[in-house]
A and B are shown apart, each in its own frame.
Chain A
Amino acid sequence: MKCQKVHEKLDAYVARELPPGKAQRLENHLKTCPACREALVGARRIAAVLSETQAPPLPDGFADRVVSRARRRVPAVERKHAVAPPWSRFSTLAWRSAVAAGVVVGLALGAIMGRDVSEPSQVGASVRDAVVETYQLDYFAEAPGGSVADGMIQMMGLPENAE
């Protein structure tokens, strides 16, 4: 084993990572090479010096700051995986279409029913006169069309009431 090769293997040798065969060849070289023995001592010293020095402690609140940045950074991910609100099922296209159709049908029915109610009275003037006379409702005789009084006279003039 040559000196350059030994120098490259010293870290692995010190950490006992070398396979037994290579470790033996390296040790054989060390027995005959003072320069490489000195390099081995130097490697151990460097390892000791580095291990003795401590890096500054982790800054306070480090994890909180990382998580805080993460929450600001990935709102889309959170929304994607958040629990869906109860009403969210009604926001699908099918539900929206069904609601729209219901509104249209409701408006159409309302228009038809409203037209029946607002149509002018079919009760003839003779019936109206008969009702006024029969029930002595003279004070309603001049009631304008569409008024409450007129509506009452019309109801009373229907066949079951117009005796």
Chain B
Amino acid sequence: MVDDRVLMRQIAGGDMAAFRELVVRHQQSAWQIAYRYLGNRHDAEEIAQEALLKILDNAARYKPSAKFSTYLYRVIANLCFDHSRKKQPLYVDDLPVRTSDDLPPLEELSAVEREQAVQAALDLLSERQRMAVVLRYYQDLSLKEIAVAMGATAKAIERLLAAGRQALSRHLGDFSDM
């Protein structure tokens, strides 16, 4: 398989087939991060697409100092933060924002409802806590990789994750005790 950095060089030369290959490789991650952060399909697709197009636009200036995926995560994270600042409040698909008091016990929830409850809890985190949690638990990034993606130190990410985890425990209540 051709390395991502090689694909980026080809894309910088105007190779649209290479761009398609890059999109196919990373579309799932881009979509997952954007959806988990934003909480709705429409905005998630828009941001995920915009991130990949931004990478195309900047292909000629890309310097492979880190893994390509880390670079992609940074682009997505910045777009997500910009989106949050421009468009408040954020909406969860067909689900009103809940507090921990609203959530029923885990055993009463279907898989879809669990997913929605988790998404609602994520949505209650601060922007940076939510992005750190998403990159950590849904993309399995290391602290250092999250730090690069979010333009922060590893120590700052540790604090964000600790605070985010405590907030999730509060919001999910009994849900997380099962």
Contacts and interface: CB of A to CB of B under 8 A. Distances in A.
Nearest to B59: A77
A71 B114 CA distance: 39
A66 to B, nearest CB: 5
Interface stretch (B16-24, B66-74, B81-89): B16-24
Contacts of B153: none
B175 A8 contact: no
B143 A66 contact: no
Interface stretch (A40-48, A104-112, A137-145): A40-48
Interface string B140-178: 001100000000000100110110011011001001111
Contacts of B169: 42, 45-46
A48 to B, nearest CB: 9
Interface residues of A, number: 38
A84 interface: no
Interface of B: 13-16, 19-20, 23-24, 27-28, 31-32, 35-36, 41, 45, 48-49, 52-53, 56-57, 111, 114-115, 118-119, 133, 136-138, 142-143, 155, 158-159, 161-162, 165-166, 168-169, 172, 175-178
Interface of A: 7-12, 15, 17, 42-43, 45-47, 49-56, 58-59, 62-63, 65-67, 69-71, 73-74, 77-78, 80-82
